[in-house]
Amino acid sequence: MPSRKVLACNGEKPAFIGRIMFPNTHALVRLLQDDDPETVRLVKEQLFFMAEDNPACLDELVSADEIHVSRHAREILSEIEGHNAIRDFDLLCHLGGEHFSIEQAAWMLARAVDPKILTLSFEDQVNEWGIEFLSRIPNSSDSCERVQMLTEFLSDEIGFHGNSESYYCEENSLLPQVVSSRAGIPISLVLMYMMVGSRAGMRIEGINLPGHFIARHAGIFFDPFHAGRILSIQNVKQLLLRQNIEFKDSHILPATPRQFLLRMLANLLYVYDLNEERTKRDQVKEWMDILTTCDVAR
């Protein structure tokens, strides 16, 4: 955490912001343009603390004509956003128990992993798809018809598909990239079907099979990774048999939000291990440990 040292600027009247003393904007501009990297670092540290609770206080610096000053201010805001996103996701892992929205958790995870991601436009896109799908479903449709219509909409029309060519990559697990590329792994595509379907009144559950992740709506099993293919219970048993796993009723229980999120994180952990991204790997492992050990009875 940055230290809370106090800057002094000769010839300029300082201002008190919170418990930290800062020179005026013109002096800050000069300090951020200083040739001494240590001076610039110290200014940015103090601006970080100043802007944590009031990001708008950096507006003048962000819009400054001096390109280096504007860049420094944007970097500070990005760091604050990243800090806040990780803090918020930490709190979810500690306090969520089993009672949280997996959709909101997935958006939060994306922001925590990559603070540069602005999720709002992607959330709006999912809402638009949900509204469009709702307008197409006749009230008389049965469960199988609804699943087929959802598959036709998301797979055939929108273009969502399993990314089998580049399966082990971060983008397949982060919701904004899945929305953008229309490609994902089984769990992220199941979540996409869940989100769009829920906006049209469809209750879709994630089924956490060993080695695969599928969906269920009103007793109908289907596989978004393979273009929404309808699965019989015999098909499900065959999926397990290929892994030498004997079918149990517990295999087709709906995944809880915590189980869902743990599997999403496990996929990311594998990717970061594979790519030797140690910092991200350690952060994801910490979140998994919290979710595994925290009391879920809250």
Residue ranges making up the domain that contains 193: 98-293
Residue 6 domain-assigned (yes or no): no
pLDDT of residue 24: 63
Q: Are residues 78 and 155 in the same domain?
A: no
- pLDDT for res 216: 97
Q: Is residue 45 located within the same domain as residue 23?
A: yes
Query: How much is the pLDDT for 31?
Result: 72
The amino acid present at 68, given as its one-letter code, is H
Shared-domain flag, residues 148 and 21: no
The per-residue pLDDT for 170 is 95
- Asked if residue 25 belongs to a domain, the reply is yes
Q: What is the pLDDT of residue 251?
A: 95
29 with 149, same domain?
no
- The answer to whether residue 168 is domain-embedded is yes
Same domain, 23 and 129: no
3-state secondary structure of 54: coil
Residue 167 domain-assigned (yes or no): yes
For 220: left if phi > 0, alpha if psi spans -120 to 50, otherwise beta; the answer is beta
Q: Is 146 helix (H, G, I), strand (E, B) or coil?
A: helix
Is there a contact between 231 and 237 (Cβ–Cβ < 8 Å)? no
At residue 12, the pLDDT reads 46
Looking at the structure of the chain, the number of domains it has is 2
Last residue of a domain, one of 88, 121, 136: 88
Q: Are residues 80 and 156 in the same domain?
A: no
Which pLDDT belongs to residue 158? 97
Q: Are 173 and 267 contained in the same domain?
A: yes
Cβ partners under 8 Å of residue 279, min gap 6: none
Q: Which of 62, 88, 114 is the last residue of a domain?
A: 88
Residue 21 phi/psi, 5° resolution?
-100, 130
Q: Return the pLDDT at 42.
A: 78
- Each residue's pLDDT tens digit, 60-115: 676 777 777 777 777 666 666 767 888 899 999 998 888 899 999 999 999 999 88
Tens digits of per-residue pLDDT, 271-286?
A: 999 999 999 999 999 9
Residue 5 within a domain: no
- With respect to residue 219, please indicate whether it lies within any of the assigned structural domains: yes
> Residues 198, 138: one domain?
yes
**The tokens of 32 are what?**
């951020």
169 and 243 share one domain: yes
Q: Which of 63, 88, 113 is the last residue of a domain?
A: 88
Nearest-angstrom CA–CA distance, 218 and 207: 13
Whether 153 is covered by a domain: the verdict is yes
Cβ-proximal residues to 295 (8 Å cutoff; 6+ apart), any chain: 97
User: Based on the domain organization, do 112 and 217 belong to the same domain?
Assistant: yes
Residue indicated by tokens 């029309």: 157
Q: What's the token pair of residue 91?
A: 């709190």
Residues 106 and 174 in one domain: yes
Within a domain: 7: no
Q: Hey, which residues does 222 pair with through a beta bridge?
A: 215, 230
Residues of the chain scoring pLDDT < 50: 1-22, 297-298
Q: Whole-model pTM?
A: 0.78
Q: Both 176 and 252 in a single domain?
A: yes
